[in-house]
Amino acid sequence: MDFLPFARPDITEAEIEAVATAMRSGWLTTGQNAAAFEKEFMAFVGVDAHAVAVNSATAGLHLAFEALGVGPGTEVLVPTWTFTSTAEAVHYLGGDPVLVDVDEHTLCIDLEDAARKVTPRTVAIAPVHYAGLGVPDGALSDFARTHNLAVIEDAAHAFPTLNEGTLIGAHGHEATVYSFYATKTMTTGEGGMIVTPDAELAARMRTMRLHGINKDVFDRYSSTKPSWQYDVVAAGYKYNLTDTAAAMGRVQLERTPEMVARRNAIAERYDAAFADLPVTLPAHAPAGSSHAWHLYNLRLTSDAPVGRDRFIELMAEAGVGTSVHFIPLHLLTFWRDTYKLSESDFPVASAEFLRTCSLPIFSAMTDEEIGRVVSAVRAILG
């Protein structure tokens, strides 16, 4: 039997056709497909705002923090339970990510711990909607208002996620950043999108996305008038999304309802199959919210017959790939040494890390593959 990978992109002939058409068009870099992708993404989120397509979520976070003025002497609250990107993008600009512990149930940022870590230098909070479950927006918005902070949502897992009645990206926060990395809920291979309601922020991010050039990429390349003139108004970056990637993204966006329904069905199947095992099942969305199910994390309890590390080995021996999301940032050398962090500063994340494991949950999974995961988990833990 083939090894079942932890994740496999859900690519159909429609994506392949769209990319081939883009390649045959003679236009590969940012152009009409990227512009259309931004428009269609905005329509999906259902808000009259600005969408800025970029070549990764990391780039998107960097642009959003830059546009908000994060720099030396400023601090941004970041959950320790995330991928290194969220903190890294603050660090690129000379700002300091201040790591925060997480809620034991959702593994999302703990706003009580965040409140303890606010200082006069804090300018923003960057919540991660872990696994595809939103940080409840009422509490998040109150927190930001109370402490006068900007909110940059790391929505790398959360497309599409309904958060207290509204899709993430439509709550009016300064910026929401999505990832289209190969394992995410929709993909362009590598890519990302920033959504902001603020026209000035959007203009700054568009400029910085392409070298600090004072014309938008679309004006520069797609206008029929001669347009060789440009100025450089800042030392920007090279973060634009290619048209071939955008062509794939447009099809993935159309297929999103079908793909999210499939991931929900897989989660339901796992919940039922594992309910009697020595595990903590993943948190569910409360009424009025939904879950994107980018990840399905199982947490082994102390009465499990094996520990997490052994569980991962046994799953691999059974032919099933798994992963861990996340190794908390305070346990990684760079962050631990730079900010002199210790496990006891983050009691919840430190403890939960030891027992968490992510199972395969991708929309291209077959029923047979879901069955294989269920059998393997039950054989080890049952």
Ligand X SMILES: *Cc1c(COP(=O)(O)O)cnc(C)c1O
Which residues contact ligand X by CB under 6 A? 56-58, 82-83, 85-86, 128, 154, 156-157, 179, 181, 192
In whole angstroms, the minimum distance from the beta carbon of 132 to ligand X comes to 10
Among the listed residues 117, 184, 225, 340, the single catalytic one is: 184
Establish whether 184 is a catalytic residue: yes
Bridge partners for 153 per DSSP: 176
Q: How many CB atoms lie within 10 A of CB 150?
A: 22
Q: Is 350 left (phi over 0), alpha (psi -120 to 50) or beta?
A: alpha
In whole angstroms, the minimum distance from the beta carbon of 116 to ligand X comes to 23
Active site amino acids: 184
